[in-house]
C-alpha cells in the first residue's frame, strides 16, 4: 500500500519520482483537496529544453492529470544571474535579447505534455522577469534579505564545493537563492501556488522558498524533489555523443528522438517506462518482466510511447518503420536523420568528388564521433558500417558509393544510423 492518500503523490511514488518532500502529511492533504497549484522553474539558457528537463515536465503532467494546476515559470530574470547549482564555475551571462529568444523557443517544448488554457486546472506560463525586473535592489534586500542568514547560505553544497576547490563564487550567484525563493513568494501571492517541484539538486533553493512563504506571509508551502536520472552506466540523462537530446523537433528529429529511447540500456528500460511514458502500471510491469530478446520489445514500446507523447503517434510509427528499414533493409530510409557533406566536397555535375572523403570524415560529419581520433578507434574496432558494409580501416569513398535511392551514404555506428548526403 502507498504511504500517500492523494492520487498525485501515489502515482509519483510508484513511478519512482519522489526523492524528498517537505511536510509530508500536510503536503499529502493539500494534494488531495480542491485544485492544488504547483510550479517548476526553467532558466532560459538555450532555445529548447532537453531530455534532462523531461523529469519535471512529466511531474507536471501527472499533477495536471490528477486535477492540479501547473505553472511553468520561465526564468527571464533568474537567467540573468545563472543558477550556480551543481556548477563548478560561473555560467556565461546572456543578453536580454538572447534570453527572450530562448524563452520563445522553450515555450513550444511544453505544449505536447501540458494543457494550457483558462480552465480551473489548465496550465499557465509566467516569466519571473515580470517581478524581478521591477524590483529595486534596496527593496529586494529589505523584502527578502532579512529572512536569510549568511550562516545558512554558506552551508549549501554548491557554495561549499566552490570554496573547498578555491573556485570563485560571485556575489551575483550568491543572490540566486534569494531570487528563486522570491519567485515562490510571488507565485504564492499572485496565483495561490503552494508547491514547487524540481530535481534533487534544487532542494536547497526549494526549501528557501518554502521558508520565505512561511516567514513573509505566514503561509503553508511545500516542496517535492525527484531523483536526478542517470543511466545504469553512470551517464547523465540525455547526454549522448551527438550532444543533448532536445525536445524541440527542429533540434532533434522524431527518428533521432525515437532512436534515443530505443537505445536505452537493458537495466534502465523499466525505470524509463515509469518515468517518461503514460503507460499504466500493469502494462509496465508486463514489459519489465520480459527477458532475453523480449527486452527489445520493451525498448520499442518505450520508444513508441515516449515519441508519441512529444511528436504524435504517426511520427512514432514512421520512426519505428525507418528503424526497421535501416536495420533490415526493408522499407524506406526517408525518415532517417540526414546531414550534409559540403565544403565543395563533390561536383554533382560530373558525378565525382573534388577530393577524397574518408570513412573518418563520414563518421564525424554524421555526428557519430566527437573527434577524428574517436572515429578511427571505432573503425578499427569494427563498429562502423557504411552502406551496411563493415569498415575496419579508414579508407576513401567515391561518389559511386552513394546509395542512389536516398542520394546519401548510410553510416552506422552501434545502433545509430545517419544518412550523409553530398552537396555541392
Q: Check 20, 23, 24, 45 and give the catalytic one.
A: 45
Q: Which of 239, 334, 338, 401 is catalytic?
A: 239
CA distance 260 to 405: 25
Q: Is 53 a catalytic residue?
A: yes
| Candidates 20, 201, 334, 401; catalytic one | 201
Q: 3-state DSSP helix/strand/coil percent for the chain, to nearest 5?
A: 45, 15, 35
Q: Is 410 in the active site?
A: no
Residue 240 appears among annotated catalytic residues? yes
DSSP 8-state symbol, 155: T
Helix (H, G, I), strand (E, B) or coil at 143: helix
How far, CA to CA in Å, does 343 sit from each of 163, 347, 353, 355?
A: 47, 11, 11, 10
User: Nearest 5 degrees, angle CA 133-CA 137-CA 140?
Assistant: 85
Choosing from 98, 108, 231, 240, which is the catalytic residue?
A: 240
In the residue annotation, 45 being an active-site residue is answered as yes
262 — alpha (psi -120 to 50), left (phi > 0) or beta? alpha
* Catalytic (active site) residue 167: no
Question: Of 87, 161, 215, 317, which residue is the catalytic one?
Answer: 87
Handedness of CA 155, 156, 161, 162 (dihedral sign): negative
Which one is catalytic: 142, 160, 190, 236? Answer: 236
Q: Please say if 180 is a catalytic residue.
A: yes
Residue pair 419/326 in contact (Cβ under 8 Å)? The answer is: no
**Catalytic residue from among 10, 15, 50, 397:** 50
Is 334 a catalytic site residue?
no
Which run of H or of E encompasses 276? helix 269-276
50 is catalytic: yes
Considering 23, 91, 115, 191, which one is annotated as catalytic? 91
Long-range contacts of 383-386 (CB under 8 A, 24+ apart): 383/413, 383/414, 384/359, 384/411, 384/412, 384/413, 385/410, 385/411, 385/412, 385/413, 386/359, 386/362, 386/410, 386/411, 386/412
> Which of 261, 268, 255 is closest to 240 using CA atoms?
261
Tell the residue number behind the cell numbers 530562448, with chain if given. Answer: 102
- What angle do the packed helices 269-276 and 281-288 form, to 10 degrees? 160
Active site residue 239: yes
Active-site option among 22, 78, 79, 180: 180
Exactly one of 28, 43, 47, 53 is catalytic; name it.
53
Active-site annotation holds for 236? yes
69 vs 34, 65, 120, 128, 416, CA distance in Å?
A: 10, 9, 7, 18, 39
Q: Which residues participate in catalysis according to the annotation?
A: 45, 50, 53, 87, 91, 180, 201, 236, 239-240
Amino acid at each position: 500500500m502507498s504511504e500517500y492518500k492523494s492520487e498525485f503523490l501515489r502515482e509519483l511514488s510508484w513511478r519512482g519520482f519522489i526523492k524528498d518532500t517537505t511536510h509530508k502529511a500536510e503536503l499529502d492533504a493539500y494534494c488531495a483537496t480542491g485544485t492544488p497549484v504547483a510550479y517548476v522553474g526553467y532558466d532560459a539558457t538555450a532555445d529548447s529544453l532537453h531530455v534532462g528537463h523531461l523529469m519535471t515536465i512529466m511531474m507536471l503532467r501527472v499533477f495536471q492529470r490528477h486535477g492540479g494546476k501547473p505553472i511553468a515559470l520561465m526564468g527571464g530574470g533568474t537567467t540573468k544571474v545563472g543558477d550556480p547549482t551543481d556548477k563548478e564555475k560561473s555560467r556565461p551571462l546572456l543578453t536580454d535579447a538572447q534570453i527572450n529568444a530562448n524563452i520563445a523557443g522553450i515555450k513550444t517544448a511544453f505544449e505536447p505534455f501540458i494543457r494550457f488554457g483558462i480552465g480551473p486546472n489548465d496550465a499557465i506560463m509566467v516569466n519571473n522577469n515580470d517581478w524581478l525586473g521591477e524590483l529595486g535592489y534596496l527593496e529586494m534586500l529589505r523584502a527578502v534579505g532579512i529572512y536569510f542568514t549568511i550562516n545558512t547560505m554558506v552551508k549549501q553544497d554548491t557554495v561549499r564545493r566552490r570554496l573547498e576547490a578555491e573556485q570563485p563564487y560571485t556575489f551575483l550567484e550568491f543572490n540566486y537563492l534569494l531570487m528563486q525563493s522570491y519567485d515562490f513568494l510571488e507565485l504564492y501571492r499572485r496565483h495561490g501556488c503552494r508547491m514547487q517541484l524540481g530535481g534533487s539538486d534544487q532542494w536547497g533553493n526549494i526549501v528557501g522558498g518554502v521558508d520565505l512563504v512561511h516567514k513573509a506571509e505566514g503561509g503553508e508551502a511545500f516542496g517535492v524533489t525527484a531523483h536526478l536520472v542517470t543511466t545504469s552506466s553512470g551517464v547523465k540523462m540525455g547526454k549522448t555523443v551527438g550532444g543533448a537530446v532536445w525536445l524541440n523537433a527542429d533540434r532533434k528529429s522524431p527518428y533521432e528522438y525515437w532512436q534515443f529511447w530505443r537505445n536505452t540500456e537493458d537495466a534502465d528500460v523499466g525505470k524509463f517506462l515509469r518515468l517518461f511514458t503514460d503507460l499504466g502500471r500493469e502494462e509496465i510491469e508486463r514489459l519489465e518482466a520480459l527477458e532475453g530478446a523480449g527486452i527489445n520489445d520493451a525498448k520499442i514500446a518505450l520508444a513508441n510511447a515516449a515519441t508519441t507523447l512529444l511528436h504524435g503517434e504517426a511520427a512514432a510509427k514512421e520512426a519505428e518503420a525507418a528503424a526497421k528499414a535501416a536495420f533490415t533493409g526493408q522499407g524506406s530510409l526517408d525518415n532517417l536523420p540526414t546531414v550534409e557533406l559540403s565544403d565543395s566536397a563533390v561536383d554533382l555535375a560530373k558525378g565525382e568528388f573534388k577530393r577524397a572523403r574518408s570513412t573518418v570524415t563520414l563518421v564525424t560529419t554524421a555526428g557519430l564521433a566527437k573527434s577524428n581520433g574517436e572515429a578511427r578507434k571505432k573503425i578499427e574496432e569494427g563498429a562502423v558500417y557504411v552502406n551496411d558494409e563493415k569498415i575496419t580501416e579508414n579508407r576513401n569513398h567515391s561518389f559511386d558509393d552513394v546509395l542512389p535511392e536516398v542520394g546519401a551514404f548510410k553510416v552506422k555506428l552501434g545502433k545509430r544510423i545517419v544518412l550523409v548526403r553530398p552537396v555541392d
